[in-house]
Amino acid sequence: GAGVSQSPSNKVTEKGKDVELRCDPISGHTALYWYRQSLGQGLEFLIYFQGNSAPDKSGLPSDRFSAERTGGSVSTLTIQRTQQEDSAVYLCASSLGDRRSPLHFGNGTRLTVT
Amino acid sequence: DQQVKQNSPSLSVQEGRISILNCDYTNSMFDYFLWYKKYPAEGPTFLISISSIKDKNEDGRFTVFLNKSAKHLSLHIVPSQPGDSAVYFCAASGVTQGAQKLVFGQGTRLTINP
């Protein structure tokens, strides 16, 4: 079946611009996560959705970052006034919602801020 | 504050031999551990997991060992195959982390040589 889909796969933007990243989770998965991986680093948790609500947004680095999920499905991660340190691969994952259900990741969006 | 650490950035193993990847954690509240495998330009894929009530879990060529007293887990791959060449991430979760948040290590790049 279809996996987690992320778009765009690559995004180059100028410093100061806003960007929007999209994630389409696996159908029926109630939980959705955003992580990011900076060069040479591990996966850094950003935010977690259960349905449309975000019980844990503790990983969002600043108020320039926001995310929403509508209809219990598609999610968008928005970064306002991008900075060069925002350059990273942004990964979305979904799961069945049980704490021990494995996360299924998309292929990520590589964001480059020039 | 790196709660999950993979101290070896890279590992090179000959085809057919055993690959051993290590991971240490600091948070004694972690009770569930997972290994993910990542190929370039793809998202991580789930490999194997272990609950803290066990000390070993096996799935085909992959075995994960957990030493709770040492706060250490390892992934054994035997025999190693060229397709195993990838970056391996260990991850951990615990109730106090927020029900669903996985904390990842920095990853170990495994190269299997023919």
CATH number at residue B26: 2.60.40.10
Query: Is the Cβ pair A42, B105 closer than 8 Å?
Result: yes
pLDDT 10s digits, A85-102? 999 999 999 999 887 888
What's the average model confidence in pLDDT over B58-78?
Answer: 97
A61 Cβ neighbours under 8 A, 6+ residues apart:
A46
**A88 close to A45: Cβ distance less than 8 angstroms:** no
Q: How many contacts (CB atoms, under 8 Å) link A and B?
A: 66
Is B19 in contact with B110 (CB distance < 8 Å)? yes
Task: Give dist(CA A9, CA B42) in Å, integer.
Answer: 10
Structurally, what CATH architecture does the domain formed by A5-11+22-98 represent?
Answer: Sandwich (2.60)
Strands B108-113 and B10-14, sheet pairing = parallel
Among B45, B99, B107, beta carbon nearest to A42:
B107
Residue B26 structural domain: 4-113
CB proximity B101 to A under 8 Å: yes
What whole-number distance in Å separates Cα of residue B6 and Cα of residue B22? Answer: 6
Contact A56 B101 (CB under 8 A): yes
Q: What is the pLDDT of residue A15?
A: 97
More confident of the two residues A1 and B90: B90
Contacts of A95 in chain B (CB under 8 A): 100
Give DSSP secondary structure letters for B6-52. Answer: ---SEEEEETTS-EEEEEEE--TT--EEEEEEE-TTS--EEEEEEET
Task: Answer whether B18's CB lies under 8 Å from B80's CB.
Answer: yes
Q: Look at chain B and report how many structural domains it folds into.
A: 1
Closest residue of B to A102, CA-based? B46
- The pLDDT value recorded for residue A101 is 86
B46 in A contact zone (CB under 8 Å): yes
Closest alpha carbon to A46 in B45, B34, A56? A56
Of the pLDDT bands very low, low, confident and very high (cuts 50, 70, 90), residue B97 is low
Instruction: Find chain B residues with C-beta within 8 A of A32's C-beta.
Output: none
Nearest CA in chain B to A39: B106
Q: Does residue B72 contact residue B8 with C-beta atoms inside 8 Å?
A: no
Q: What are the two backbone dihedrals, phi and then psi, of residue B41, each rounded to the nearest 5 degrees?
A: 65, 15
Do the chains contact at A56 and B4, CB–CB below 8 Å? no
Lowest pLDDT segment from A4-8, A55-59, B53-57, B78-82: A55-59
Contact B107, B87 (CB under 8 A): yes
Distance from B101 to chain A by nearest Cα, in Å?
7
DSSP symbol at A73: S
Residue A1: pLDDT band by 50, 70, 90 thresholds? low
Q: What is the pLDDT of residues B37-58, one digit of tens each?
A: 999 989 999 999 999 999 999 9
What are B8's two structure tokens?
Answer: 């070896």
